[in-house]
Amino acid sequence: MQKDLSAVKLFKREDFVVKQETRVLPRYPLHYITFRGVVSGKQDFHRAYEVKDISSQGMQLEQKMGECHIKVGNQLMGAINWRGEKIEVSGSVIWIDQSRIGLQFNEDLGIQKKIIQLLSLPNMTGQLRSLPIDHQTNHDLTKELRYWYRSEGPLEMFVWSKANNFSRCLWIYLTNFVEWDHNDGLKTGQIYRQKDESAEENFRLVDRHELNWNISEGDYLLLHDRNLDHHKLQLLKQFLDFFPKHLMDQEEHQWLKRLFVA
């Protein structure tokens, strides 16, 4: 079994089928979105956090230094910072896992609009960069990996090849993924890094005890759609339209567009 495919399980229900898959993907340290906030009523207790995952409804934070004194139910107030942009937000702590914190934003259409703009495909794709691939140090994870693109936000694409031909491509945006494999064709679904309570909310029909949350840093949980999700395919089409031309040979770029958009 390949190292990047550690577990596969199929859940059957009357109205849908979900395949759960746990993979290890290569990671690369980049400056990411940060949050500096304070617990309501403790204005002298400011902390800086790395934003591990974010959506218009909430975010997952990690406290890098010091002991975490935050409790479930606390209100956090502060600012999201990314490339000079600053968005004031507030929300409720809904779960804690050691140094990780799940924050649900308070309902505020103005804040949600700003976050949606921050995470928009044009904004994320504009910050896309090609990452170096170390085939020696991480041979098992990067074997046959040809291109690796990542934004400083939640946007990433991996392209593998065999005999100079593309063999697999995985595109990740927020919690959406689209994958093409030369053996299995196109697949769509949702992807979560480490334990993410929002996945359990999105898949209430899957019994909690059946979901494998015992995954570590670098591990991803993939939940496959029963049928291809054309909204995700449309998002990928937009990404390829915005894709910076200098990052890939144009013939290969056009080949990817034909592959996913046809």
Q: Where does a domain end: 81, 102, 123? A: 123
pLDDT band at 116 (very low <50, low <70, confident <90, very high): confident
- Decide: pTM greater than 0.85: no
pLDDT of residue 8: 42
Is the domain of 118 the same as that of 205? no
Residue 102 near residue 60, CB atoms below 8 Å: yes
Residue 33 near residue 82, CB atoms below 8 Å: yes
**CA 138, CA 25: separation in Å to the nearest integer?**
11
Is the domain of 53 the same as that of 114? yes
Spatial CA neighbour of 169 closest among 193, 197, 188: 188
12 assigned to some structural domain: yes
Domain of residue 182, residue span: 7-28+131-261
According to DSSP, the residues that pair with 89 across neighbouring strands are 78
- What domain count does the chain have? 2
Scored b (16 or more CB within 10 A) or e, 68-102 reads bebeeebebebebebeeeebebebbbebbeeebbb
Virtual torsion, Cα 229, 230, 236, 241, nearest 10 deg: 180
For 223-252, how does the pLDDT look when each residue is reduced to its tens digit (9 = 90+)? Answer: 888 889 999 999 999 999 999 989 999 999
Q: Where does a domain end: 123, 157, 174? A: 123
Is the domain of 71 the same as that of 175? no
Q: Where does a domain end: 123, 140, 163? A: 123
Counting beta carbons within 10 angstroms of the beta carbon of residue 155, is it exposed (0 to 12), middle (13 to 18) or buried (19 or more)?
A: buried
Give the range among 15-29, 108-122, 141-155 with minimum mean pLDDT: 15-29
Mean per-residue pLDDT, 60-83: 84
Is the domain of 20 the same as that of 39? no
Mean per-residue pLDDT, 67-89: 86
95 assigned to some structural domain: yes
Is the domain of 109 the same as that of 218? no
Is the domain of 118 the same as that of 215? no
pLDDT of residue 44: 57
Residue 200 near residue 214, CB atoms below 8 Å: no
Is the domain of 135 the same as that of 90? no
191 assigned to some structural domain: yes
pLDDT of residue 91: 92
pLDDT(123) > 70: yes
Average pLDDT over the chain reads 76
243 assigned to some structural domain: yes
Is the domain of 247 the same as that of 161? yes
Is the domain of 198 the same as that of 109? no
pLDDT of residue 18: 60
Is the domain of 98 the same as that of 150? no
2 assigned to some structural domain: no
Q: Does residue 106 or residue 142 have the better pLDDT? A: 106
Is the domain of 170 the same as that of 229? yes
Is the domain of 106 the same as that of 189? no
Residue 149 near residue 129, CB atoms below 8 Å: yes
1 assigned to some structural domain: no
Task: Work out the end-to-end distance of the chain between its first and last CA atoms, rounded to an integer number of angstroms.
Answer: 32
- Residue % of the chain over a pLDDT of 70: 74
CATH number at residue 95: 2.40.10.220
183 assigned to some structural domain: yes
